[in-house]
A and B are shown apart, each in its own frame.
Chain A
């Protein structure tokens, strides 16, 4: 046989073959059990008898949960009984969620006791906040929008609390005042101290001018201009703020302010300047060493004793400051961890390039340290945002603090699950969003060699 095969076939022999493949045979589809969902299920859910049992148990548990939850929350829930009360709900359907309480009070959950005809102000402030955050969070935004971001704290404050427009506007003008002093006062200072020392001194003078402007000029000029040209929104007191609005104010302020403050503290803690280092260490350890609720009690009650009677020092402002301090102490430690993870060579590289301290930090050290710290930073943010519910203990009506007054309404006394579930949903949405953003950021900044 082998001989006949090695010989070239005669031309007429082509006929003797019924079929000659002109190409590769297309691969036949794998068996049904090895593809698609079936395979996925087999490999992931039923890969062994232990896993199969676990899968079945999980399915059973999920069925148990959903079969209780879905009818309660969707099929049997009561949105608008008559009368609007827990007993009204029970008359319509005693086995469903009484979501009528959310229906009646959701505006209170969002705005607290904010005057209804002014709801557009916090709404606009929230919308502007998203616009102001855009250039910070995503590269796709046009860069000039960062000016809006810089101005946003004053705009947001003015929209929410109202009052004269001139106060926040003048507060925004402080950098201009500082710049003016730095530019023109700098010439004078250069003459006094000479070129070597003059640069830093005029910077100090500029900073000092900003602080003085904030402390004295703003109040003074605000009074004068408001007399001439009163322009503003109806003032809203802090006691009217509540609900998610309050959570957002405290959370956003704490998050936005604690990151820069935390970076400075972390750098200060590593500083070779003794006093700077001592102050930073003392601040971090003191703030981190006490529970947040203690700081909140200090802000809400103890400060009243130390301030002169009649001082109007807004309680929400006090709380924001305390929360920011607390979070920045944690943030400092998180970032210190990031700094410590960098090899010493990176610091030396910065020095070898001839960069000064701030440049080497800004261009070489911090970008790497912050990138490493992203998960921990966002972790701190999420923790901070959830910690804002502690203010319910000092009689502020954050979403959790609102539950008590709502249940104190005789119509809603006795409702528990619906209210807590609603608040939990709100916090979940925001915390989940932050967590997703952090993962996006990690992917975007991923430059390592894994």
Chain B
């Protein structure tokens, strides 16, 4: 989510000037990608009973590992808290941070990171009990609101209520768990956080139907993977791996049919994407079939979305903004050419 650690920020900017060149060479030499992920967020990163991590953000790590090595298992996960994530990336402890991190100006510019794209367009929403009969966030004047302290959601909330001339009473909370308890016990009328988080929280309730997520989304939270400034080749690999997953959905390439398409497709775009022609991988410094390998791990963007956070899962998120541009969303990959 949107924690900003003062320690992390200060130290990250302190070393931002240090150039880290040749991440790809380092990664190839050690034989795996160090990927920073969440310590646990429903749908985005969670270990199963055997300790295997999976989720929407984890799938990005696996795709990048497959793009570099042709083997999705050559990745080591480092679970990072909101406080440790930026220092871990800046100090080189991880090569890629795929931890539902909001792309903001200061993180991109001041902290010295490079967001390689957006894998989930999130936004801040509100959840209220149905019995309050609130239909719109505009009716929330005077409400008590559970809000995580020290996050951008706190600032967004203040902005929104001020802009609409409403009063509210904040109930500061520290973690999502605490928020669930407070909200369910009635300590606050409204719980506000990212819409994806609200959906996951609501799905965990005993009777989800008694609660509604209001239609208003009051902020932009583009979540995406990021790398360090100063190593464009490594950034390109991560960016074009993510783009490949989106393009694959656009072109109808799935985990199941990717091999067959690479061999038989006559569509030049597909052939370039999957490395059958064009030699795009060589320009990146990886094998030509990097996108094919990445797609074969967990499928294209739609398959990853549906498996982890889509309508069929417990979280049940709709594609919304995260649909392809031609389906009414804003996902749009530059062409593979």
Contacts and interface: CB of A to CB of B under 8 A. Distances in A.
A104 B75 CA distance: 26
B81 A394 contact: yes
Interface stretch (A302-310, A380-388, A426-434): A302-310
A104 B49 contact: yes
B192 to A, nearest CB: 18
Contacts of A416: 177, 180-181
B84 A300 contact: yes
Given A116-B50, A409-B47, A301 B200 contact: no
A297 interface: yes
Contact of B39 (A239, A297, A395): A395
Interface in A71-112: 86, 90, 94, 104-105, 107-108, 112
Contact of B203 (A108, A404, A409, A413): A413
Among A395, A406, A413, A414, chain B packs the most CB atoms within 10 A around the CB of A413
A241 B200 CA distance: 28
B200 to A, nearest CB: 6
Contacts of A408: 38-42, 44-47, 55
Contacts of B180: 414, 416
Contact of B204 (A86, A107, A301, A302): A86
Contacts of A301: 7-8, 11, 84, 87-88, 91
Interface string B286-321: 000000000000000000000000000111000000
A302 B47 CA distance: 27
Interface string B12-44: 001100001000001000000000001111111
B79 interface: yes
Contacts of B79: 395, 397, 405
A410 B46 contact: yes
A92 B14 CA distance: 55
Interface residues of B, number: 47
Contacts of B181: 416
B43 A401 contact: no
A68 B79 CA distance: 37
Among B7, B78, B79, chain A packs the most CB atoms within 10 A around the CB of B79
A179 B314 CA distance: 65
A414 B178 CA distance: 10
A304 B92 contact: yes
Given A393-B83, A395-B78, A395-B80, A305 B49 contact: no
Given A301-B84, A304-B92, A305-B15, A410 B42 contact: yes
A410 B49 contact: no
A309 B8 CA distance: 18
A94 B40 contact: no
- By DSSP majority rule, is chain A's interface helix, strand, loop, or mixed? helix
A424 B79 CA distance: 24
A407 interface: yes
A308 to B, nearest CB: 11
B43 A410 contact: yes
Interface in A103-153: 104-105, 107-108, 112-114, 116
Among B47, B80, B180, chain A packs the most CB atoms within 10 A around the CB of B47
Contact of B40 (A297, A304, A406): A406
Contact of B87 (A94, A107, A113, A304): A304
Contacts of A104: 49
Given A90-B206, A297-B7, A401 B46 contact: no
B306 to A, nearest CB: 14
Among A90, A305, A395, chain B packs the most CB atoms within 10 A around the CB of A395
B132 to A, nearest CB: 21
Contacts of A310: 26
B93 interface: yes
Contacts of A404: 39-40
Contacts of B11: 301-302, 305
A80 to B, nearest CB: 13
B78 A410 contact: no
A358 B325 CA distance: 80
Contacts of B209: none
B53 to A, nearest CB: 8
A414 B48 CA distance: 16
Nearest to B87: A301
Nearest to A242: B51
Contacts of A94: 206
Given A304-B93, A405-B46, A416-B181, A410 B87 contact: no
Interface in B162-213: 177, 180-181, 200-201, 203-206
Contacts of A309: 20, 92
Contact of B47 (A113, A237, A403): A113
Nearest to B206: A90
Contact of B200 (A239, A305, A405, A413): A413
B48 A407 contact: no
A260 to B, nearest CB: 32
Interface string A285-314: 000000000000100111011000110000
Nearest to B34: A239
Nearest to A405: B40
A86 B200 CA distance: 13
Contacts of B204: 86, 413-414
A96 to B, nearest CB: 13
Nearest to B30: A310
Contacts of B88: 301, 304
B76 interface: yes
Given A239-B78, A300-B84, A305-B15, A401 B51 contact: no
Nearest to A106: B49
B175 to A, nearest CB: 8
A304 B205 CA distance: 41
A395 B39 CA distance: 7
Contacts of B42: 407-410, 413
A409 B48 contact: yes
Contacts of B26: 310
Nearest to A414: B204
A407 B40 contact: yes
Interface of A: 86, 90, 94, 104-105, 107-108, 112-114, 116, 237, 239-240, 297, 300-302, 304-305, 309-310, 393-395, 397, 401, 403-411, 413-414, 416
20 contacts: A104-B49, A112-B51, A297-B83, A301-B7, A309-B20, A393-B81, A401-B39, A405-B39, A405-B47, A405-B79, A408-B41, A408-B44, A408-B55, A410-B42, A410-B46, A410-B200, A410-B203, A413-B42, A413-B201, A416-B180
Which 6 A/B pairs are nearest by Cβ-Cβ distance?
A414-B204, A408-B40, A405-B40, A113-B51, A408-B46, A410-B314
Given A304-B87, A406-B47, 12 more contacts: A94-B206, A108-B49, A302-B87, A304-B91, A304-B93, A394-B84, A395-B78, A408-B40, A410-B43, A410-B315, A413-B203, A416-B180
